[in-house]
Amino acid sequence: MSSLSSHLRDERRAQLAALLDASGTVLRLAAPVVDLLVRLSLSKAFFAPGMLPSSHLFAQTGWPTIIVQVAGPVLLAAGLWVRPVALLMLVLTLLAQTSGPPQDEHLFWAALFGWYAAQGAGPLSLDHLLAKGLGFSPLPLAGRAMAAADWLDRWIGPLYRLAVRLWLAAALAGDALAPSMLPATASAMLPATASAMLPRPWALLAAALLGVGLGTPLVAAGLLVAGTSMAMAGTDHAMTIYAPPFLALLGVSGAGRYSLDSLIAARMHRPAPPADDAPHIVIVGAGFGGMACAARLRRERAQVTLIDRHNYHLFQPLLYQVATAALSPGDIAIPVRGVFRDHPRLRVLCGQVSGVDIANRCITVDGRRPPTMCWCSRPAPATAISATRNGRPPRRGSNP
């Protein structure tokens, strides 16, 4: 009975994981198009006159005006140097919000510019097209610029998604927040029309879901439909025209790493523990054949040990970059451990097989016999294979 219930639970989890994968695929396909449309809408907004704040700093020189109203929109629409351009536009938008009367339009501009400054442009951009080549280019500071962009994507991007979720959740909650939690200086940085997108109970529910990051694409879609319907109906609390692009971008991009959505997805994709009668397969060699065997077997309910002598599996022929000192020889090998780091049923052992004890069903590596090298400690089928060229794993229960 316990085995049957475990099997049913694993099957339900696999079905939910497949559903999450399908929805994630749809969002990933829509994300580049949404990203391009948002950049084009922002570029059009900055072509309009009168956006810049009326400050004496900008009245004395025309260069900021030229950069923002001419070069900035062109670069943003083409997706070139998006991060620095978006950062400059973010600063000017915040100046416009604080120096003049508060406007929800400026707040959503700032949220979108901050998004591009933290995460960059999507696949339909010149930055994305040139990124791979610049990473291996011998041009000065090109490698450091790409490393800085990767660092921003890995660490600042998820934090910014968390910040905009909390910002939108606070705007939806509106006057339900205590005055001590929402000072008067912070009220000007929240869109006033956001709390009127939905009826009060639904707005509080949406704020709570956004705060914890649960069902973020669905919440963003609901807010988008509700706000657009109110705008078409001509109500007094219709949202600004730049709120839908922000909600669409948040919906297709997801809640990010710091959310319940991410935790649920990781839980659903976690491999199920092997059964008591699952075989323990040892793969000797981590070339193309060994990697193919491990990739196939990691989806099975088997325990896999991959023995690799040098801890790399792929040599990339980048001789020109090595000759020009753009890469070191150690940078052209992809480590095996990084490939299978997230698979608990598959372990990688660096060493050389020095002997096989068929009677005790164990392998010695570098003259030692680690406990994990026993093919099977229970009366269950076990297999030890040497990776072949075609990379096909053996059938379960086959003789070594």
Does one domain contain both 207 and 230? yes
Same domain assignment for residues 285 and 249: no
In a domain, 394, yes or no: no
Query: In terms of domains, do 193 and 301 share one?
Result: no
DSSP category for residue 392: P
122 and 239 both lie in a single domain: yes
249 and 345 fall within a common domain: no
Boundaries of domain holding 374? 280-386
Q: Residue 273 falls within a domain, yes or no?
A: no
Instruction: Answer yes or no: do 370 and 248 share one domain.
Output: no
Q: How far apart are CA 239 and CA 149, in angstroms?
A: 33
Return d(Cα 253, Cα 256) in angstroms, integer.
8
**Do 219 and 332 share a domain, yes or no?**
no
Domain contains 395: no
Determine the length of the chain.
Answer: 400
For residues 253 and 345, membership in a common domain is answered with no
| Residue 157 belongs to some domain of the structure | yes
Domain count, the chain: 2
Determine, yes or no, domain membership for 393. no
pTM of the model: 0.74
Where a domain ends, among 218, 240, 266? 266
Same-domain status, 22 and 122: yes
d(CA 215, CA 326): 44
How close are the terminal C-alpha atoms of the chain, in Å?
Answer: 33
299 plus 260 within the same structural domain: no
Question: Which of 241, 266, 291 is the last residue before a domain boundary?
Answer: 266
Same domain? 193 vs 336 = no
* Structural domain ending residue among the three candidates 228, 244, 266: 266
Q: 396 is written with which tokens?
A: 């379960």
- Round to whole Å and give the CA distance between 386 and 293: 10
User: Does 303 share its domain with 255?
Assistant: no
**Hey, what amino acid is at 102?**
P
Cα(29)–Cα(77) distance, integer angstroms: 20
pLDDT per residue rounded down to tens, the chain (400 residues): 455 666 677 778 878 888 888 999 999 999 999 999 999 999 988 775 545 544 444 444 456 666 667 788 889 999 999 999 999 889 888 888 888 788 888 899 999 999 999 999 999 999 998 887 787 777 788 888 888 999 999 999 999 999 999 999 999 987 666 455 555 556 678 888 787 788 889 999 999 999 999 999 999 999 999 888 877 776 555 578 889 999 999 999 999 999 999 999 988 877 666 666 677 788 888 877 888 888 888 767 677 888 877 666 665 555 555 555 555 555 556 677 777 766 777 888 877 888 888 777 778 888 887 766 665 444 333 344 544 434 444 444 443 3
Domain membership of residue 272 (yes or no) is no
| CATH number (domain holding residue 344) | 3.50.50.60
Asked if the structure places residue 198 within a domain, the reply is yes
* Whole-number Å distance between alpha carbons of 84 and 73: 12
